[in-house]
Amino acid sequence: MAKDGNTSAADFLPDRLDLDALRSAAACCEGCGLYRNATQTVFGEGPRQARFMLVGEQPGDQEDRQGHPFVGPAGRVLDKGLAEAGIARDDVYVTNAVKHFSFTLRGKRRIHQKPTAAEIEACHPWLDAELAVVAPRVVVVLGATAARALLGREFRVTRSRGEPVPLGDALAVATIHPSAVLRAPDRDAAYAGFLADLQAAARAA
Ligand code: URA
Ligand code: SF4
């Protein structure tokens, strides 16, 4: 039970902290209400020795169906940015602040809904455990939800993006979410800024 008496992922953490144990425990998490309507928990993926940990918001529609993080349109932007910033895929652990898809139904369409502050908090023990096990050198914070989860409510991505800031034993570098690149009126400019931040993350490592 979390300190305030609400349920959270803390109730479902395994005794043994390694990635396999965490992943199987998270598959049964009922730490907030999001498990009810989503297809499955989408846990982080990547090598335990990764120097980079990338943290997004939550799985989207494709991720929810396939069970892997960043496999939809946002993932394609991310993969392109990583390749162009010279960050190797096998040096990257990818995860999300919230591990279940949150959506509202519009007819048959599932419309992504931002996770609430309570859901971000409830899911935080998984992210903390991933950080403890992977112990990355650089944490790339993708967008406002991940920034809120890792850097606090006062942090503003727009103001401080691309600047390494201490996060435990690691350095965090924030940037916009790859979905925001896709939604931007000037996509090329948004992508260029995103890439510049990933290059700053590469230098910080
Ligand atoms: N957006 C995210 O924040 N994470 C994903 O895994 C996919 C889309
Ligand atoms: Fe557990 Fe996080 Fe899923 Fe909520 S979103 S049920 S806390 S894994």
Q: Where are the domains of the chain?
A: 9-204
At residue 6, the pLDDT reads: 76
**Residue whose tokens read 């949150």:** 102
How far, in Å, from the CA of 15 to the mean position of ligand 1? 28
Where does 58-184 show beta strands of DSSP type E?
92-96, 103-106, 109-112, 138-142, 165-167, 170-175
How far, in Å, from the CA of 97 to the mean position of ligand 1? 9
- Residue to mutate, 179, 181, 182, 194, ligand 1, most ligand atoms under 8 Å from C-beta: 179
**Residue whose tokens read 């993350």:** 201
How far, in Å, from the CA of 178 to the mean position of ligand 1? 8
Question: What is the three-class DSSP state of 130?
Answer: helix
- The reported pTM is 0.96
CATH T-level topology, domain 9-204:
Uracil-DNA Glycosylase, subunit E (3.40.470)
At residue 4, the pLDDT reads: 57
**Residue whose tokens read 């959270």:** 8
At residue 2, the pLDDT reads: 47
- Print pLDDT tens along the chain (205 aa): 445 567 999 999 999 999 999 999 999 999 999 999 999 999 999 999 999 999 999 999 999 999 999 999 999 999 999 999 999 989 999 999 999 999 999 999 999 999 999 999 999 999 999 999 999 999 999 999 999 999 999 999 999 999 999 999 999 999 999 999 999 999 999 999 999 999 999 999 9
| Ligand positioned closest to the Cα atom of 79 | 1
